[in-house]
Amino acid sequence: KINLPEAAAEKQSDRPNEVNVTVDAQGNYTVERQPIDFTGAMSLTQGLRQAAGDRRDPVIVINADAKATHQSVIRVMEAARLGGYNHITFTTHRPQGER
């Protein structure tokens, strides 16, 4: 079975140490599907802390739209750093029809 990133939309309970952050093409952020009212890096940090709860050393997974700006992704990385989260990874999505 091929497990492509876009097909790997697993429930949080399946990957309990991950905190998923989504950045869309308009620069909107969600943390674990909860919209974040971005007012600065600390607003994202607070969202990460709330989602991480008491988990030790969670992995911050950044799911960025292909058209999201680099700056919007850097903001998530800065928020993770401010929260003390050192493990960050990215998911990738191929445009439809591309192999």
The closest alpha carbon to 6, from 51, 61, 58, 63, belongs to 63
pLDDT of residue 4: 43
- The confidence score (pLDDT) of residue 14 equals 56
The pLDDT of residue 21 is 97
Element counts in the chain: helices (H) and strands (E) = 2, 5
What's the pTM value of the predicted model, to 2 decimals? Answer: 0.76
Look at residue 16 in the predicted model and tell me its pLDDT.
Answer: 75
Nearest to 51 by CA among 9, 89, 92, 79: 79
Question: For the chain, which ranges sit under pLDDT 70?
Answer: 1-15, 92-99
pLDDT value, residue 94: 59
The confidence score (pLDDT) of residue 13 equals 43
